[in-house]
Each structure stands twice: as C-alpha cells, then as structure tokens.
A and B are shown apart, each in its own frame.
Chain A
Amino acid sequence: MGKKGIISFLQALGKPLVAFITNLGYFTRFLFKSVYNCFMPPFYIKLFWRQFINIGFYSLPVVGLTTLFAGMVIAIQTYSGISKYGAESAVALVVLISVTRELAPVLSALMVAGRIGAAMAAEIGTMRVTEQIDALVTLSANPFRYLIAPRVWAAISVMPILVLFGDVIGIFGGYLVSIYKLDFNPANYINNTMTNLQTLDVMTGVVKAAVFGFIIAVMGCYHGYRSKGGAQGVGEATTNAVVSSSILILIFNYLITEIIFSR
C-alpha cells in the first residue's frame, strides 16, 4: 500500500470516528442536562401524569400479551427439556425465575421502546422541525424541564409497575399451560410458585425496569431533540430511538444481571 493509500485509508477511518466522537459528545451533554433538569423546578406535574398514563396504562395490553405468551412458551420448553429427567416440578420454578428476572422486564421494555420511545422521538422531533422547541425557549420555558423531565420521570416510575403486572401475567401464562396442557395439579403448581417466590427475583426485575425506563425516555427524547430536516429527519430519529434503546436495554440487562447474580 502506497503513501496515498494509507492516507485515504486513514481518512476513511477518521471520518466516521470523528462523527462518532462528536455524537458521543452531544449525547453526553444531553444526558447531563436531562438529569440535572429532572431535579430543577418548575416540575410539570400535569405533563408527568399525561406521560405516566400514556406510557403505563396504554402499554398494559401489549405488555400483558407479550409476557403471557412468554410465560406459556417457557412452561412448554422447560417441560419438554427436562421431563426426561423426571423433574416436572421444576417447571413452576423456571417459569417464576425466568419471567420475574428476565422476560417480564426485558420484553416489556422492548415493547415500550417500540411504542413509547418511537412516539417520544416522533413528537419531540416534529416539535424540533416545526420550531416549537425554539418557541418554548422564546417563551422563557426550558425545553429540558418542560419536555424531557416529565417523560424521564414518568418512564422511570411507570416501568416497574408495568413489569410487576407483566410478572403476574407471565406466571399466569405458565400456569395456564401447565394446568391445561401439561395436566399438572393446580394446587401443587401454585404451591411451588409461592414457596419459590423470592424478593430478590422480583426486585431485580423492578430495578431493571426503572433503568430501562430511563434508557427509553432519554434515547427517545435525545433522537427527537436532535432531529433535523423535516419528515425524513423525524423518521430517522424514530428508527434510531428504537434501535439504540433496544440495544442499550439488552446491554444493561446483562450488566445489571452480572452485578446482582455473579457473586
């Protein structure tokens, strides 16, 4: 490779690297500003409740359906996987642990990222390209406190509730399959579930949910806030919000699991 080749190779490498570092800088600044303004008055309680209902109440069906089928699948898979070892009684335990620790928080978060993260990016993105965010500033309202803080607080506080709801529905899904498909004894199944129920398992899911809620809101708001260029820009912001929050959810899921369980 000649000298020219090396230079063009370095240029090709440098351009995306500079873009990446620039975006990382923008994001870090946005993140700090968001967190700072979450604790600064005025607090828009009405806007918080609007987001709370929007994220929480209207996500119940999708979270319920997702966790129901996840619980059902886990029951069948566990049974088919371990029945040859004669350990059917473990089905309740596996459903309980996998739903509360992993499936309910992760699947709910991915669903909410698709539903709410995208909506946040689209709404804030549209506000950006139609100059509504500039209008907020000219009316002496801080966009971080007016738009972002209520969404972040609402997502952090409602996601744990959604996940607790998902826990119940997911375990119920496992119960349905175990009783009506695998012919387990209902009393034994419920007894197995209740004796194995650990606070740590449920709390793990709740902690994950709060972190995932933060990720969904921040990524949705960030991509919306930085969008430009009209409808196409808003479309890109929506896609980026969902993709980046989904990836971060999976990464943080691993990190939190490692912190709590790898002792």
Chain B
Amino acid sequence: MADNKIEIRNLYKAFGKKKVLDGLDLDVRKGESLVVIGGSGTGKSVLIKCIQGLLVPDCGSIKIDGKEVVGTKEDIHQKMGMLFQGGALFDSLSVWENVAFRLLEHGNVSRRKARVEAIRVLRQVGLAPDVADLSPAELSGGMQKRVGLARAVISQPEIIFFDEPTTGLDPIMADVINDLIIESARGLGATTLTITHDMASARKIADRIAMLYQGKIIWSGTVKEMDKSDNPYLRQFISGSSQGPIKVEV
C-alpha cells in the first residue's frame, strides 16, 4: 500500500534452533504511532533490529517507503532515530556531544553550532542547559532516557523507534517520557514504532497496537478495539494473568 512507511512480509529470524520471528507480517502507516506489545523474549527487539539492519533476517522482506532494505548497501539510518532501552549513551562523550553526535558526524556544522542545537533539543525534552557538559554516567535513569530521546530526534528523522521507553522508570517519570514521545513525534510528523510490555505506556502513545506472539503478529487494532477484543492471548496479556493460553517458559 502506498501510505505504508514500513512494510514487513514473511520475516524469519532464528538463533540456532530457537525461532524468534516466524513469518511475521506488519505494516506501519505513514505518520502513525504503532506499538508492538508482547512478553519478554518474544522477539520484539529482534524485530526492530532487523528493520534497522542491526540483524540480518534469515528470509523475508522489509520495505521502507517502498524500497527493500534487507541487504541494502544504502545508509538507511539517515531517516531513522532510535531510543534504546538503556539509553545507550556514549560514556566517552559529554551529554551534548551525545545529542549532537549525528550533526558532528554528518551535518557539516561547527562544534559551537552543534552545541547550541543540542542545548535547544535538550530544552525540548525538559533538560536544563547545565546538563549539557555532564557525562552520561552522572545522570539519573529518567534523564538518560531524555538525552537518548533528544539524540534520536535532533536530526528530525522520518521514523523513530522506541525500545521499551518506560522500562526501569517510576510511573510518573514513565508518563513524562510518554508525553515527550508523543510531543516529539507529533512535532516532527514522524512515524513511530514502539516496542513495550508496559500497557499504560502503550495505551497512551499508540494509534494502533499489534501483539507479537511466537514470532507472528497475532492481533492488531486501535486501543478501543483492543479493549473490546475477545482474543484470549490479548486478553491474558492485558490483564497480566498467569492463567491462559500464553504459557511462560520457566
């Protein structure tokens, strides 16, 4: 379909004998916020790593703007931003150098201009300019997520990936991060793909939710549709019950 930003067909990825993605199909429409939910170890991270070329799928097709990206030599990351689960900030660089990394690498801008721009984006995510010269190790978990978010959005990407954006945060900070995600994505008009198992976060930021189970998308729809759905897997996941069709491997 022409209005799909990301189109995934028949994606397979296995590690040894463990099949992680097992013929996965998924569409992300232009400008929408899609949240993929699923239990730990169901392959959510593998999915976004495959889209970004960090992992090579065993077979299948991933198209971005209609162009195949599996095995491509083109730099597909120019139009992407990513907020990692643990922040993945570079310890050897200061906060502002982290945020301005892409500008310094590819933007042909002076360090002074890059710093000004980094501080502007840091402000957008609610951080004061005096944080700019600190090292990432000096920041709290919530602040690191904000810096990670600033780094993801500074180059105004068309697609932003959020890997468990609220994991490890207290509920209030998690909500602040959710708000920032919504604001930044709307401000840029970006397409976002979030993976999470935090249902509060999913409800808040999703235009559409898709559930990943045993390597396939087993359900997708809006938040309203989700609440009405009688899919037993989805119901069990939302209610957080240990009883149901989803068996946790122990």
Contact = CB atoms under 8 A, between A and B. Distances in A.
Interface of A: 42, 126-127, 130-132, 134-141
B101 A134 contact: no
- Which residue among A42, A136, A137, A138 has the maximum number of chain B CB atoms within 10 Å of its CB? A138
B105 A131 contact: no
- Which residue among A131, A135, A137 has the maximum number of chain B CB atoms within 10 Å of its CB? A135
23 contacts: A42-B105, A130-B86, A130-B88, A131-B84, A131-B85, A131-B88, A132-B88, A132-B90, A134-B88, A135-B82, A135-B88, A135-B90, A137-B52, A138-B77, A138-B81, A139-B77, A139-B101, A139-B105, A140-B77, A140-B102, A140-B105, A140-B106, A141-B105
Contact of A140 (B49, B75, B88, B89): B75
Contact of A138 (B82, B85, B91, B106): B82
A48 to B, nearest CB: 14
B99 to A, nearest CB: 11
B78 interface: yes
Interface string B52-88: 1110000000000000000000010110111011101
Contacts of B90: 127, 132, 135-136
Interface in B151-187: 151
B52 A141 contact: no
Contacts of B85: 131
Contact of A131 (B80, B86, B101): B86
A141 B88 CA distance: 14
A132 B78 CA distance: 17
Contacts of A140: 75, 77-78, 102, 105-106
A58 B11 CA distance: 50
B106 A137 contact: no
A127 B136 CA distance: 13
B80 to A, nearest CB: 6
A139 B49 CA distance: 14
Given A136-B90, A138-B81, 17 more contacts: A42-B105, A130-B86, A130-B88, A131-B84, A134-B49, A134-B54, A134-B88, A135-B90, A137-B53, A138-B52, A139-B77, A139-B101, A139-B105, A140-B75, A140-B78, A140-B106, A141-B101
Lowest 3 CB-CB distances: which A-B pairs, in order?
Answer: A135-B88, A131-B88, A138-B82
Contacts of A132: 88-91
A127 B106 CA distance: 22
A137 B78 CA distance: 10
A127 B88 CA distance: 8
A18 B52 CA distance: 30
A239 B82 CA distance: 32
A76 B80 CA distance: 66
A137 B49 CA distance: 11
Contacts of A42: 105
Contacts of B106: 140
Contact of B84 (A126, A135, A141): A135
Nearest to B76: A140
Contacts of B53: 137
Contacts of A136: 90
Nearest to A126: B91
Nearest to A134: B54
Contacts of A131: 84-86, 88
A55 B91 CA distance: 19
Contacts of B151: 139
Nearest to B75: A140
B216 to A, nearest CB: 25
